[in-house]
Structure formats: structure tokens, C-alpha cells
Homo-oligomer: A and B are copies of this chain.
Amino acid sequence: MKRNVLIIGAGGVAQVVAHKCAQNNAVLGDIHIASRTLAKCHAIIDSVHAKGSMQTKGVLQAHALDALDVEATKFLIRATHSQIVINVGSPFVNMSVLQACIDTGAAYMDTAIHEDPLKVCETPPWYANYEWKRREACKAAGVTAILGIGFDPGVVNAYARYAIDHHFDQVDSIDIIDINAGSHGRYFATNFDPETNFREFTSTVWSWENNAWKANQMFEHRKDWDMPVTGVSTTYLTGHDELHSMSQHLGVPNIRFWMGFGEHYINVFNVLKNLGLLSEQPVRTARGQEVVPLEVVKAVLPDPASLAPAYTGKTCIGDLVKGTKDGQPAEVLIYNVCDHEASYHEVGSQAISYTAGVPPVAAALLIAEGVWDVGGMVNVEELDPAPLIAQMNRMGLVTRIRHAAGDNVLDPVCPVAASLGDDRQGELKYG
């Protein structure tokens, strides 16, 4: 039974994590939020209190922390008696926070792969460049580390696992489809940090085709999908974190990630990219100032957090899985639909933050209850997906399945409520 959560980061996802931890603090215990900017932690705490999100009276505290500083992070974990760390800071701090967890025994979670700010990691699988090098250290220390437990990566990994286990004898392909059919009403904005956002699209697009890595360019491959709620949605083949673990763990020959883009987004992106304004390499102005163009683009774009109040519409993210069952071709789409306005009303963040922030708290509850406290480093597809899906269904992030028989809520065979007394850990695929 682990208790007390330390949230690292104070952006839009951290806001959701804090609210959801607060809504479950009877199980999770004390909640601490740490960021370089203390004021952002306090703003989140104010929001939690304003919306009355605390399930029961308890500790909710802000801390200033440079999460690149391993010793400072260890000190804070110990001082707050935190046994669960949810890292939703920038992808640059993953390795230092993970090390602090290994050294203190706290369970670790994050929602994206570690990145070095100075390079765009080019060699797949990306997890092998950083996180997986600490796998043995986690095992030796008995430290639970669940990598990439946001929505994508995270929930989509669990969906893939669930489809493989319950709907197929053999799986040929998994297409992860991420549609944001919402509207923020601004000329142009990114839904999270523009720097992180654009980095995702300026490097090589890796996909997993016929059991091998294939390199493509961004916006090279377009595909329209008929999606629930959002309708026919245009997507482009995009590189994404989850491919780098699912390709290694699932034995499926084709795994691709498709992100929805409107023509307007692509046009603005292409103009900026072709002009060199997305470059991380400094240029010199006529007045002799050294400037990184991407930092200037970030400075003129709206702060993603500022979009939430006016955001309308829905997201639809899911896995379209194809293969065979009982000798017949089979296909299922396991997905979630999330509403921007409803998310903002509940926790003060839009749906993109909501879908990324609920899963690590669901996972924290599973760790707290011992269901997912596996004592080693795993990616999400290595864990039993049923308790996660059941837990999220109860937390406002409902999973649906569309298959030959129709389209209905996915109610996993082993809901957490029933499993909490079991020793379900013994059934996990991890090991």
C-alpha cells in the first residue's frame, strides 16, 4: 500500500493530475506539487480548492524544485514521505526524476519519453536510449516505474494489449488515431508547449512496418478515418512515443500513429518550417543579436493554458486493431471521446490535458492498492489493461469499443472494485 503523491510539473496536465489526485485523496494521501515556478503550483492549488476537488480534508502543498537536480528531488520525496511520483514536467527531466525514485524507493510515472534538449533523438526505439538503461536498476531496487502512462502513450498501449488478449487470435496491424476536433477560436495555437509540439513534427517520422522501423517525412502520408463522434477525420502519419515500446513488446508487425491535422495547421506549420522559423539553431539579426527562431515563435503564440476557457468540441483517440479471430478477419476500434468544455468545467483544463492527466492518477490508485505495484520498470502494454480501463471509466474517462457487434462502453472483465481483494499482480504479463 503506497501513499502520498508528489506531482512534478505545473502545466495543464499537472492541473488535471492535481484535481484527480485531490478527488481521490482518501486513498492517495498527501498531495504535493513541485515546479521551478512556485506561483504555478499555487495557482493549481487555488483551482483545486475553488472547485472543491478535495475528496477529504488533507495535505495539498506547493514546492519550488529544479527537477534536473537529483539530490533536491530525492530530498523533496523524502521530506514529503511521497511513495508515488507522477512526473508531468518537461520531457527533459525524466531521467533525473527517475533516478531520484530509484534512490528513494518511490514509484515513478511519466507521460512521455525523455529528451535531451540539445538533440532530437533519432535512433529507435527511443526508450532504449535513456529509460530502458535503468531497467535493471529498477528491478534491483524493487522500484515500480511505469513509463508513458498518459493517454498516448499510455491508454492506447493498454487498448492494444486488451484487443490482443480478448478479440484476436492474431493481430496484423494497430493504427493509433488521435483526433482533436475541438476549436480554440484563435488564429493558430499549439495545444501544449509549442517547442515540444513542433519538435515532434520536424524530425524523422518513425513507424513500425513489417516488423521493422520505417523512416518517413512529416505530412508525407495522409489517411482519412471514419471516427465515432468526430466523423471523417484527416490524419497524417506521425512519429510517437508508444511505437517505440509497443513494437518491442506486442509481436505485432505493423504499428502506426496517425495524428489529425486541419489544412490550416499544416499551412502555418509549413510556412514556419520552410522559412526556418522552427529552427533550434540560433540566427544573428542585423543588429547582431543571437536569437533562436523557435523561441520567438513560441513567444508570439498563445500560451496553451490560455486556450482552455474558450475550447469547444471533442477529442477522439483510439486504436484500430485488425487481425483474425477464429479464422475470420476481425477489426475493433477501442477509443475514448472527451469533451473540452466538460473537462474545463470539472478541472480547469481542456480535453487534451484531461486525457493525459487522468491515466497517471488511475495508475497511481492501482499502485496505491497494490494492483499495479510491480516492483520494476514497465511500459503500459506489459500490464493487465483491465483494471486501468475500469478505473478510468469510474474517473470520467470512459472507454468504448466499436466492433462487428456494435459500439458500446468497454466494461472490462475484471473491474477493479472486484479485483482489489485479489492478488491480481500474479496475473500480470510483466516479468
Please pick, from B272, B286, B299, the residue contacting A271 in the complex, using a CB distance under 8 A: B272
Q: Is A289 an interface residue (CB 8 A)?
A: yes
Q: Nearest chain-B residue to A296 (Cβ)?
A: B296
**Does A300 contact B283, Cβ atoms closer than 8 Å?**
yes
**Does B271 contact A300, Cβ atoms closer than 8 Å?**
no
Please, which residues of chain B bring their CB within 8 A of the CB of A274? 187-188
Q: Is A298 an interface residue (CB 8 A)?
A: yes
Q: Which of A289, A298, A300 has the most CB of B within 10 A?
A: A300
**Does B275 contact A301, Cβ atoms closer than 8 Å?**
yes
**Does B283 contact A297, Cβ atoms closer than 8 Å?**
no
Say yes or no: A297-B271 contact (C-beta < 8 A), given A289-B291, A291-B289, A291-B291: no
Please, which residues of chain B bring their CB within 8 A of the CB of A287? 295
Q: Is A293 an interface residue (CB 8 A)?
A: yes
**Does B286 contact A293, Cβ atoms closer than 8 Å?**
no
**Does A275 contact B268, Cβ atoms closer than 8 Å?**
yes
- Give the oligomeric copy count: 2
Q: Is A394 an interface residue (CB 8 A)?
A: no
Q: Nearest chain-B residue to A283 (Cβ)?
A: B299
Q: Is A285 an interface residue (CB 8 A)?
A: yes
**Does B299 contact A291, Cβ atoms closer than 8 Å?**
yes
A267 to B287, CA, bound (A): 28
How many residues in A have their beta carbons less than 8 Å from beta carbons of B?
27
Please, which residues of chain B bring their CB within 8 A of the CB of A298? 285-286
**Does B289 contact A300, Cβ atoms closer than 8 Å?**
no
A287 to B117, CA, bound (A): 14
Say yes or no: A285-B275 contact (C-beta < 8 A), given A267-B267, A291-B291: no
Say yes or no: A286-B299 contact (C-beta < 8 A), given A275-B188, A291-B291: yes
Shortest Cβ distance from A39 into chain B, in angstroms? Answer: 15
Shortest Cβ distance from A9 into chain B, in angstroms? Answer: 15
Q: Is A277 an interface residue (CB 8 A)?
A: yes
Q: Is A329 an interface residue (CB 8 A)?
A: no
Please, which residues of chain B bring their CB within 8 A of the CB of A285? 292, 295-296, 298-299
Please, which residues of chain B bring their CB within 8 A of the CB of A253? none
Q: Is A276 an interface residue (CB 8 A)?
A: yes
Shortest Cβ distance from A290 into chain B, in angstroms? Answer: 9
**Does A284 contact B299, Cβ atoms closer than 8 Å?**
yes
Q: Nearest chain-B residue to A298 (Cβ)?
A: B286
Binding site for B on A (CB under 8 A): 187-188, 267-268, 271-272, 274-277, 279, 283-287, 289, 291-293, 295-301
28 contacts between A and B (CB under 8 A): A187-B275, A188-B275, A267-B271, A268-B271, A268-B275, A271-B272, A275-B297, A275-B300, A276-B300, A277-B296, A277-B297, A277-B300, A283-B296, A283-B299, A283-B300, A284-B299, A285-B292, A285-B295, A285-B296, A285-B299, A286-B295, A286-B299, A287-B295, A289-B295, A291-B291, A291-B299, A293-B300, A296-B296
